[in-house]
């Protein structure tokens, strides 16, 4: 008998993880259980991740954010990446994805899992060549699955697997005319392996074995979009949609085995197509949680892609996307620095919160109301306390102090809040003397 969160939900059990999520979301535990049983919510919680503080992702819950980091060949500094982890945790990111593809990835991954109360995700395909010490074309299907099992055994909560890129999808892709072809790193590696070996995608062909691994450790399957658009020109094209149909079929197979599933979504989408993309995923993948990279709403802003992605993320979240992968200013340019990562997290958190206000998530609009009340009262300390980024707000205030402490240097004595407060005080004084 499976002991996954989904299996327990289907049996009518309310796990400790479901209780924690219900408390965080201000919802009834039974409501969480029912949606989890239907696949509309996931609680990624590997049995081996002992430091985890559970989070729910899906319909009716707060929009969560994910932070990507990891070791690469050009920037193989483990301590620098661990500093990023600590910063991401301090900034309350709900998930961290380890995308390491160089060196002793298992050591870094294990340190990350021990350290992190946030959800941990990985893309085992990135790790396959280094872990197995083989050329890509020489890796056997069972070895790909062995790498997934290694990650599951280490304690990761969710894994991105590009199982929807099958031979039929590949043949369709070859006939298409794409500007940016396959931009998914994991997808391109699988595509190359399939072409060099003239074989089916091992994760598609041996999907049942993949489900065995996920069920044993309760690893949530994040079905990756190998054919996601890497440019506005490729958005919502036939290759993307054909793969999405396959992912919907795989979702139902996973649910039959009580394996939790979320679907990964597009990276570059024009504003006018974002809502349609979310609706298509929810329809074709039967309401499974949707995890989007941005999406970026224009291709021409390198150095500012945290902004282009926040615009897309807010719109996608408002339309029903459940999980936003942050994008940093360094996207398309370099491995992000600690400061890049911070800016990416803030941008993603703004997008997620804006989406939550639009979706009517409990407590979302209340936060904004409290900030507005603090602004009207010119209660600076309360404003700092409520700010998404207290550090920056406080620094700006200190760098430019006004003559009158109950205003700022933008308006000074002409501050509208200050004036209206004084008018109200005078009105109350007159009323009390009558």
**Tell me, what's the pLDDT at 78?**
80
Say if residue 324's pLDDT is above 90: yes
Neighbours of 31 (CB within 10 A): 14
Query: Distance between CA 150 and CA 73 in Å, rounded?
Result: 21
Instruction: Pick the range with the lowest mean pLDDT from 92-101, 117-126, 265-274, 400-409.
Output: 400-409
Say if residue 418's pLDDT is above 90: no
**Tell me, what's the pLDDT at 426?**
80
Q: How confident is the model at residue 402 (pLDDT cuts 50, 70, 90)?
A: confident
Neighbours of 314 (CB within 10 A): 25
Say if residue 75's pLDDT is above 70: no
Share of the chain above pLDDT 90, in %: 83
Q: Which spans in 221-261 are helix H? A: 238-256
CATH topology for the 39-359 domain: TIM Barrel (3.20.20)
- Which phi and psi (to 5°) does residue 222 adopt? -100, 100
Q: How confident is the model at residue 403 (pLDDT cuts 50, 70, 90)?
A: confident
**Tell me, what's the pLDDT at 129?**
84
Query: Distance between CA 268 and CA 110 in Å, rounded?
Result: 32
Question: 334-375 pLDDT, tens per residue?
Answer: 989 999 999 999 999 999 999 999 999 999 999 999 999 999
- Give the helix/strand (H/E) hosting 95: strand 95-98
Peptide bond into 126 cis (omega under 30): no
**Tell me, what's the pLDDT at 279?**
98
**Tell me, what's the pLDDT at 165?**
97
Q: How confident is the model at residue 170 (pLDDT cuts 50, 70, 90)?
A: very high
Question: Could you give the angle at the alpha carbon of 263 between the alpha carbons of 148 and 191, nearest 5°?
Answer: 60
Most confident of 74-78, 128-132, 308-312: 308-312
Q: How confident is the model at residue 103 (pLDDT cuts 50, 70, 90)?
A: low
Say if residue 224's pLDDT is above 80: yes
Say if residue 311's pLDDT is above 90: yes
Tokens of 297: 């709403």
Give the residue numbers of the binding site for Zn(2+): 268, 332
Distances (CA, A) of 428 to 43, 348, 423, 424, 433: 52, 43, 9, 6, 9
Average pLDDT, the chain: 94
Q: Where in the chain are the domains?
A: 39-359, 363-399, 400-434
Neighbours of 393 (CB within 10 A): 16
**Average pLDDT for residues 279-306, to the nearest whole number?**
98
Give the residue numbers of the binding site for [4Fe-4S] cluster: 408, 411, 415
Neighbours of 413 (CB within 10 A): 10
**Tell me, what's the pLDDT at 26?**
95
**Tell me, what's the pLDDT at 133?**
85
**Tell me, what's the pLDDT at 423?**
86
Tokens of 244: 């999405």
Q: How confident is the model at residue 394 (pLDDT cuts 50, 70, 90)?
A: very high
Give the residue numbers of the binding site: 68, 97, 126, 162, 184-186, 225-228, 264, 268, 291, 332, 408, 411, 415
Give the residue numbers of the binding site for substrate: 68, 97, 126, 162, 184-186, 225-228, 264, 291
Say if residue 184's pLDDT is above 90: yes
Say if residue 167's pLDDT is above 70: yes
Q: How confident is the model at residue 80 (pLDDT cuts 50, 70, 90)?
A: confident
């Amino acid at each position: 008998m499976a002991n996954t969160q989904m299996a327990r939900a289907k049996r009518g059990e309310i796990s400790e993880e479901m209780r924690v999520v219900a408390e965080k979301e201000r919802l009834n535990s039974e409501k969480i259980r029912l949606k989890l049983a239907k696949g509309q919510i996931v609680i990624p919680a590997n049995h081996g991740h002992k430091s985890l503080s559970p989070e729910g992702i899906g319909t009716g819950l707060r929009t969560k954010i994910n932070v990507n980091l990891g070791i690469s060949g050009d920037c193989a500094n483990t301590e620098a990446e661990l500093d990023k982890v600590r910063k991401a945790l301090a900034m309350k990111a709900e998930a961290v994805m380890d995308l390491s593809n160089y060196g002793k990835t298992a050591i870094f991954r294990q340190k990350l899992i021990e350290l992190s109360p946030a959800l941990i995700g990985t893309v085992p395909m990135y790790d396959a060549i280094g872990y197995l010490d083989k050329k890509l074309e020489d890796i056997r299907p069972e070895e790909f699955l062995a790498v997934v099992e290694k990650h599951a055994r280490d304690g990761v909560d969710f894994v991105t697997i590009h199982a929807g890129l099958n031979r039929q999808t590949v043949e369709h892709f070859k006939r298409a005319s794409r500007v940016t072809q396959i931009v998914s790193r994991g997808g391109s590696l699988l595509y190359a392996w399939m072409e060099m070996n003239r074989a089916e995608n091992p994760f598609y062909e041996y999907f049942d074995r993949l489900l065995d691994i996920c069920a044993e450790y309760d690893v949530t399957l994040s079905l990756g979009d190998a054919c996601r658009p890497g440019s506005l020109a490729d958005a919502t094209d036939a290759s993307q949609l054909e793969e999405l149909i396959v992912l919907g079929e795989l979702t139902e197979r996973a649910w039959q085995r009580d394996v939790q599933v979320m679907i990964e979504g597009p990276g570059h989408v024009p504003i006018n197509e974002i809502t349609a993309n979310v609706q298509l995923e929810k329809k074709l993948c039967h309401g499974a949680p949707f995890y989007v990279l941005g999406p970026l709403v224009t291709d021409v802003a390198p150095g500012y892609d945290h902004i282009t992605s926040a615009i897309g993320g807010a719109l996608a979240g408002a339309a029903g996307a459940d999980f936003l992968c942050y994008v940093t200013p360094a996207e398309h340019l370099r491995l992000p620095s600690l400061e890049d990562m911070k800016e990416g997290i803030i941008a993603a958190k703004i997008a997620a919160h804006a989406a939550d206000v639009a979706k009517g998530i409990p407590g979302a609009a209340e936060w904004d109301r409290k900030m507005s009340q603090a602004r009207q009262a010119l209660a600076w300390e309360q404003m700092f306390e409520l700010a998404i980024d207290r550090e920056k707000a406080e620094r700006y205030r200190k760098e430019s102090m006004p003559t009158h402490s109950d205003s700022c240097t933008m308006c000074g004595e002409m501050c509208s809040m200050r004036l209206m407060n004084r008018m109200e005080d005078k009105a109350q004084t007159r009323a009390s003397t009558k």
